[in-house]
Amino acid sequence: MSTIVFIDTRGGKLPKAAQEAVTYASQLEGGPVTAVTFGDAQGLETLGAQGASKVVVARGVSTVDGQQLTKLVCDVAAAEGATTIVCVSDATGKAVAPRVAARLKAGHVAGTIGLPQGNRFTRNVFSGKARAQVEVTSATRVISLSPNSIPIGTGGGSATVQEHAGNLGPSRITVKELRKAGSGIPLPEAERVVSAGRGMKGPENWGPVEELANLLHAATACSRPVADMHWRPHHEHVGQTGVAIRPNLYIAIGISGAIQHLAGVNQSKVICVINKDPEAPFFKAADYGIVGDAFEVLPSARRSAFSRPRSAWAAPRRRRPRCRSRRL
């Protein structure tokens, strides 16, 4: 009996979510952990620090072909005698995990947010407004882990890297063009996010937002109207119809807090809202609030960031039942 972890390591580096998934798998009662990946990533042996004893990589696969990757995971699971398969709940994992579960006739838990209690897993439902307990009774189980759910392990050690020698068949997908969605920290992996909305009044006023994000080593994001008006690129759009994120700190500047936006950010560990409208709906979901004009608050926030150590911004705090607002 063993545990398989399927991770996407394209781009030549190990994503934070992949390291979280390996750490999560090592904390399950499922025996030795084998990581399965594809592409040309380097440094795979370092996954031993998170608990992997072996890494199986299919170097010949470079595109996200759901059928090829499903066969890869199922072949390794059969060879290792795995009864637990862990995936990251990202675009690649969502394409592979259901297929693997169907092929192995396994129970599938989508988007779990922590370690199970026996066979019971916890996941968010209704856009994060409630949590459900899901019990898996099948002999084999497939678990998709939401990013930023557990801390990354640092136990030391080195994993053995082995290339997959099986035949996965021809790919049915042809990549004609690859466009990189900007630079900087990817939103799903960001521990801190600075986001802004129409309250910034125009794309020419985004300088202070980017400066604050740089000071906090945070990713930048925006609301949907901002992306629709082309003030910011669409890959920065967070919300129900954009990217769903779970950072340790989410700062919302000039965003009213429509329900569609809240659905994509309400799993943030700490939410800080800056808005000049004291009746803005976002304050009801915030841990901390500042009632004031963003063009007056941001310069003060930048000075504060300069005077405080980075660790003061990094530590997540427990969600408060009510928002603490300060009027400027």
The CATH number linked to 300 is 3.40.50.1220
Q: Report the CATH number at residue 31.
A: 3.40.50.620
Please indicate, yes or no, whether residues 201 and 157 belong to a single structural domain of this protein: no
Which residues sit opposite 135 in a β-bridge? 120
**Domain total in the chain:** 2
| Domain containing residue 241 | 187-327
- Do residue 194 and residue 323 come from a single domain? yes
Structural domain ending residue among the three candidates 128, 163, 198: 163
Whether 241 is covered by a domain: the verdict is: yes
Is 182 within a domain?
no
Both 308 and 192 in one domain: the answer is: yes
Q: Tokens 């000071």 label which residue?
A: 215
Tell me, yes or no, whether 208 and 282 share the same domain. Answer: yes
| Residue 22 counted as domain residue | yes
107-112/141-145 β-pairing: parallel
The verdict on 139 and 86 lying in the same domain is: yes
132 and 268 fall within a common domain: no
- Structure pTM? 0.81
User: 219 lies in a domain?
Assistant: yes
Residue 37 domain flag: yes
Is residue 232 a contact partner of residue 207, using CB atoms and an 8 Å limit? no
Give yes or no: residues 116 and 209 share one domain: no
Give domain status of residue 26, yes or no: yes
Here the tokens at position 89 are 């709940």
The answer to whether residues 9 and 141 belong to one domain is yes
Q: Are 197 and 238 contained in the same domain? A: yes
Residue 118 lies in a domain: yes
**Domain boundary pick from 114, 148, 163:** 163
pLDDT by residue for the chain (328 residues), tens only, comes to 789 999 998 776 788 899 999 999 999 987 899 999 998 888 899 999 999 999 999 988 878 888 899 999 999 999 999 999 999 998 899 999 999 999 999 999 999 999 999 889 999 888 778 899 999 999 999 999 998 888 998 876 889 999 998 888 888 878 787 777 667 788 888 999 999 999 999 999 999 999 999 999 999 999 999 999 999 999 999 999 999 999 999 999 999 999 999 999 999 999 999 999 999 999 999 999 999 999 999 988 777 655 655 454 444 444 444 455 555 5
Q: Which of these three, 163, 198, 223, is where a domain ends? A: 163
| Residue 270 CB burial class (10 angstroms; 0-12, 13-18, ≥19) | buried
**pLDDT of 172:** 80
Residues 135 and 276 in one domain: no
Establish if 24 belongs to a structural domain.
yes
Looking up tokens 């580096």, which residue turns up?
Answer: 13
One domain for residues 102 and 19: yes
Same domain, 102 and 191: no
CA-based nearest residue to 265, from 283, 243, 281: 243
Q: Which of 168, 7, 8 is nearest to 75 (CA)?
A: 168
